[in-house]
Amino acid sequence: PSTETGSCLCKAVNYTLNGVRLTRVICACDNCQRMSGSVFSSIRHYKDATLTLDSGADVIKKYEDSNTKSGNTTERWFCGNC
């Protein structure tokens, strides 16, 4: 297992992730492009992962994206400040 820490751009949200890193994928679908503001999104997959919010739980926002090619709804979580 590995431990990784990170934050949003404005540093209001800080997190710790513990888990076994499996793969990293690059997605260039329309939704990931809109979400990231780039031509792709980088996505990591983990096994037996635990995500802990160290700060910023009060500014986290969720968007339910149901306009997907698969028809499945995807939850997109982000900092409401930045």
pLDDT of residue 67: 87
Q: For residue 78, is it within any domain?
A: no
Give the model confidence (pLDDT) of 15-63 as tens digits. 999 999 999 999 998 989 998 999 999 999 999 999 999 999 999 999 9
Let me know the angle formed at the C-alpha of 38 by 27 and 44, rounded to the nearest 5 degrees.
Answer: 40
Q: For residue 81, is it within any domain?
A: no
Residue 53 lies in domain: 2-57
Q: For residue 76, is it within any domain?
A: no
The Cα 8–Cα 57 span in angstroms is 12
Q: For residue 69, is it within any domain?
A: no
pLDDT of residue 53: 96
pLDDT of residue 69: 85
Q: For residue 65, is it within any domain?
A: no
